[in-house]
């Protein structure tokens, strides 16, 4: 179905940046990876993204254990807490994506969401043992909202920082780092819970999230794709060509239909 129905690319490029990309992007994946690792801003983003997503993976994996440790016999509610975290994460993904699309404030939005993730994690850490299950629902929901809401921001920010490199390469590197950190954090947190309890294990994650906030703050907002989208469309020739008759680039660099006055 996919092969029969979907085309390799649209007839006309959706944006100025995309119209230039075929002429600028190398097909050599290894060369692209080397260039990406020379991009300091992208490297900082990969590490900070890995710390955030890795902490989320570890927290999700060990959530039931930590809840039951403080609330024995609440296995059903532990599952509901996990569900709350997931649903809040879905909402966070949608809302942060819409906000980023409207404002184009890539670094600012990413940094604020990262800080709120850290705040949520700190509150969760020091309220888990208060013997009020409803507090756990609220804190885990807050963490889910911001932790999962951060994920699409990271991908979009990476595309901006690495343009005109292939999105598949930058996205692949972003996906690898959380897996590595996720395994490390899960194993480490599991060992800490067994020896010292849930609070030290959560403080362990808070430390690395703090590091992620600092790294994010040092990322320079070099929005390369937005710079191309802001150019004069006359300078955006490519193998795709300029917009055809009846179409033009709008203020956001996206191709749109021109309404011609009646004669």
Q: In whole angstroms, what is the distance from residue 64 CA to residue 60 CA?
A: 8
At 28 the pLDDT is 72
Q: Which residues contact 145 (CB under 8 A, 6 or more apart)?
A: 88, 89, 91, 92, 120
Give the residue carrying structure tokens 């690898």: 176
At 118 the pLDDT is 96
The answer to whether 239 and 22 have CB atoms below 8 angstroms apart is: yes
CA angle 167–171–172, rounded 5-degree value: 115
Query: How many CB atoms are closer than 10 A to CB 169?
Result: 19
- Mean pLDDT, the chain, rounded, equals 83
- Phi, psi at 252, each rounded to 5°: -95, 5
pTM surpassing 0.85? no
In tens, the pLDDT along 5-62 reads: 666 556 555 555 444 544 444 457 788 888 889 999 999 999 999 999 999 999 999 9
In tens, the pLDDT along 79-114 reads: 999 999 999 999 999 999 999 989 989 999 999 999
Q: In whole angstroms, what is the distance from residue 170 CA to residue 163 CA?
A: 10
Residue 249 pLDDT greater than 70, yes or no: no
- Torsion 61-65-70-71 (CA) sign: positive
Q: Residue 77: helix, strand or coil by DSSP?
A: helix
Domains (range + CATH), the chain: 27-222 (1.20.1250.20)
Q: Which residues contact 248 (CB under 8 A, 6 or more apart)?
A: 233, 255, 256, 258
DSSP count for the chain of H helices, then E strands: 10, 2
The answer to whether 124 and 140 have CB atoms below 8 angstroms apart is: yes
Rg (CA), the chain: 22
Residue 1 pLDDT greater than 70, yes or no: no
């Amino acid at each position: 179905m996919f092969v029969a129905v979907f085309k390799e690319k649209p007839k006309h490029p959706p944006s100025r940046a995309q119209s230039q990309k075929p002429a600028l992007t190398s097909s050599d994946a290894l060369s692209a990876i080397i260039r990406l690792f020379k991009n300091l801003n992208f490297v900082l983003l990969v590490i900070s993204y890995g710390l955030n997503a890795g902490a989320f993976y570890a927290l999700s994996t060990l959530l039931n254990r930590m809840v039951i440790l403080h609330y024995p016999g609440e296995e059903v509610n532990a599952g509901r807490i996990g569900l709350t975290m997931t649903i809040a994460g879905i909402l966070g993904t949608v809302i942060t994506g819409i906000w980023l699309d409207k404002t184009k404030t890539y670094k600012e939005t990413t940094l604020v969401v990262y800080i709120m993730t850290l705040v949520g994690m700190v509150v969760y850490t020091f309220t888990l043992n208060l013997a009020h299950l409803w507090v756990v629902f609220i804190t885990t929901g807050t963490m889910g909202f911001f932790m999962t809401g951060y994920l699409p921001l990271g991908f979009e920010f990476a595309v901006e920082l690495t343009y005109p490199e292939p999105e598949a390469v930058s996205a692949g590197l972003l996906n690898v780092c959380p897996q590595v950190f996720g395994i490390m954090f899960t194993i480490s947190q599991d060992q800490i819970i067994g020896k010292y309890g849930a609070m030290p294990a959560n403080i362990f994650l808070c430390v690395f999230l703090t590091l992620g906030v600092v790294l994010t703050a040092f990322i320079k907002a070099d929005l390369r794709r937005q710079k191309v989208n802001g150019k004069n469309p006359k300078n955006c020739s490519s193998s795709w060509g300029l917009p055809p008759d009846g179409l033009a680039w709008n203020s956001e660099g996206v191709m749109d239909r021109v309404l011609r006055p009646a004669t």
